[in-house]
Amino acid sequence: MTTPDDLHLATLLSAAFGDAGGTVTPPIYQTSLYTFDTYQAFEDRLNGRTSDPLYSRIQNPTVSAFESVMAKAERGEAAVGFASGMAAISSTLLAFLKPGDRIAVTEHVYSDAYRLFEQLLRPFGIDITYHAVSALENDPSLLKGVKIAYLETANSLMLQPANLPKIAANAKAHGTITITDNSWASPVFQQPLTHGIDIVLHSASKYISGHSDTVAGVVVASDALIGTIRQLTLPLLGAKLAPFEAWLLVRGLRTLDARMRQHQATAELFIDRLATRPEVIRLHSPGANSVPGLAGRSGLLSIELAENVDIPRLADALKLFRLGVSWGGFESLILPIRAGLGRAGDDNAAWRFDVPHNLVRLSLGLENADDLWTDFEAALNAGKA
Ligand SMILES: *Cc1c(COP(=O)(O)O)cnc(C)c1O
């Protein structure tokens, strides 16, 4: 007999939820609190003998619907939603860290995660060290005395993937908790918990939503680890996911598998054609099996262009790609790194990690792939000095 857990992800994401009334989408429980019929029922809930919803900072049925499917999608025991990816990151770290602890972080970590580490956590007495992905993979002694290893795979801008089974094994030897940001691959192409990683988190604003209409985050792990977050940082920092946002994320999850496969097909067309262009010096887009457990590539890739390409002119010549931060939506975007380099300083991750100034990041959307290539090729030609 097949249990729901045996189903392919696309089936699982399509079949989940609905409610007792036979609806195919979950109702939006737009309520702050839940009342109780009897004194006894109220007392039982307040004393933890029952677990019915009490107050929406802690628990909401629409949010729970999203969380339960995310837990299944990432093959974890439990999940907790947050108001943003940054809320997911900060609430996860603060649930486990205390002054004097050390975090080992992958290089090219997301820019605001970097600022969280340097501007908020370091002043509270947390030590942070940054390491090349290959060092985290190959030097187990790096994690000695480290409380948390914080990874992104692929990491931001340079899109370097990480060998998760290897790093997880290194971490286990030292009792280090491993956290991986899986926003880039999504559970369609990578399920870090199945490779020994302890906690997986997402900026759900990206592929999980897929529609560029929501800012949200989610964390998936064991019951025990999620329990700690639910007990400490979810209620006490209070950055909870709102019911309407959770409903939008459920809507996004329905098409996640199909969207990721379309993003991948377009990325592959771009990679084939970019390979023929002399303006392209280097391409960053890890594909299936480039590291163990990675089953595909998403639509977010980076390109280093030759010095003689006029990047502002290229960007302005694009008609289908729009200039913008963020990624993972239906629409194609370009982010030229040099546009954000005006603000030099220690808080700018692009400077800190020495990102090449001629790098442009593309988020390939769901438009027709040939239309997108025609647009990009014309802009490459326009950008030639
Ligand atoms: C966007 C992003 C975040 C932050 O998520 P928000 O939802 O914007 O708070 C975290 N990690 C990565 C890799 C991201 O790209």
Q: Is the whole model's pTM more than 0.95, yes or no?
A: yes
Number of domains in the chain: 2
Residue with tokens 């370097």: 160
**In this predicted structure, what is the pLDDT of residue 209?**
98
**In this predicted structure, what is the pLDDT of residue 368?**
98
- What's the gap in Å between 41 CA and the centre of ligand 1? 40
- Whether residues 365 and 297 fall in one domain: yes
- Whether residues 145 and 264 fall in one domain: no
382: left (phi over 0), alpha (psi -120 to 50) or beta: alpha
Q: Which residues of the chain have pLDDT under 50?
A: 1-2
Mutate-to-test residue for ligand 1 from 199, 201, 206, highest number of ligand atoms within 8 A of CB = 206
- Whether residues 31 and 170 fall in one domain: yes
Residue 10 in contact with ligand 1 by CB distance below 6 A: no
Residue 245 in contact with ligand 1 by CB distance below 6 A: no
Cα(142)–Cα(160) distance, rounded to whole angstroms? Answer: 19
Residue 152 in contact with ligand 1 by CB distance below 6 A: yes
**In this predicted structure, what is the pLDDT of residue 20?**
65
- Whether residues 207 and 330 fall in one domain: no
- Whether residues 238 and 283 fall in one domain: no
Residue 347: give its domain's CATH number: 3.90.1150.10
The atom number, within ligand 1, closest to the CA of 204 reads 7
- Whether residues 286 and 332 fall in one domain: yes
- Whether residues 212 and 237 fall in one domain: yes
Mutate-to-test residue for ligand 1 from 86, 93, 209, 298, highest number of ligand atoms within 8 A of CB = 86
Residue 181 in contact with ligand 1 by CB distance below 6 A: yes
- Whether residues 114 and 196 fall in one domain: yes
- Whether residues 183 and 282 fall in one domain: no
- What's the gap in Å between 85 CA and the centre of ligand 1? 5
Task: Please list the helix, strand and coil fractions of the chain in percent, rounded to the nearest 5, in that order.
Answer: 40, 15, 40
**In this predicted structure, what is the pLDDT of residue 21?**
75
Residue 134: give its domain's CATH number: 3.40.640.10
Helix, strand, or coil here: 22? coil
**In this predicted structure, what is the pLDDT of residue 18?**
62
**End residue of a domain, out of 210, 226, 255:** 255
- Whether residues 52 and 177 fall in one domain: yes
Mutate-to-test residue for ligand 1 from 91, 92, 108, 110, highest number of ligand atoms within 8 A of CB = 110
**End residue of a domain, out of 208, 226, 255:** 255
- Whether residues 101 and 250 fall in one domain: yes
**End residue of a domain, out of 255, 271, 301:** 255
Cα(317)–Cα(325) distance, rounded to whole angstroms? Answer: 18
- Whether residues 209 and 342 fall in one domain: no
Phi, psi of 54 (to 5 degrees): -120, -45
Residue 149 in contact with ligand 1 by CB distance below 6 A: no
Q: Which domain holds residue 299?
A: 257-383
